[in-house]
Amino acid sequence: MAILRDETVKIRAREDIVRVRQIVREWSIAQRFSLVEQTKMITAASELARNTLEHGGGGEMRLEAFSDGAKPGLRLTFTDAGPGIPDIDQALKDGYSTGPGMGLGLGGSKRLVNDFKIFSRPGEGTTVTITRWRT
């Protein structure tokens, strides 16, 4: 797999969530994703950026555009140094929320992408990596 380009975006304020959406849209278009693929990736990115800010106290998103042969893709990694997630399985269940939201963010994001990885330790923060390939 060849990384074509990468960039890191800080997530420190609500305005950064809007910026994340814009950048993911631009990168999805550059990878020639269909409108449906773009929408799924932007929606997942928006939810994860919001989680990074609200639950993790801020962090960053790393974008990587890549090609695996003739198959282009986009990988986003969200990292924070927040309180972490004590029970990842429960956090992925629809309806579970530690805040005012509906509890659809993590599980919903997982359903919108081709690959979803999450690593978290209480007191050490959380890293979520999502990948989508162009079909």
pLDDT tens-place string over residues 68-104? 888 899 999 999 999 998 888 888 876 655 555 544 5
- Give the per-residue pLDDT at 103: 42
- Give the per-residue pLDDT at 105: 72
- Give the per-residue pLDDT at 102: 42
- Helix then strand count (H, E) for the chain reads 4, 5
- Give the per-residue pLDDT at 90: 82
pTM of the model: 0.91
Ranges of residues in the chain with a pLDDT under 70 are 94-104
Q: What are phi and psi of 70, to 5 degrees?
A: -95, 5
Structure tokens that stand for 53 in this block: 């800010």
For residues 65 and 103, give the distance between their C-alpha atoms in angstroms, rounded to a whole number. Answer: 29
Contact 60, 10 (CB under 8 A): yes
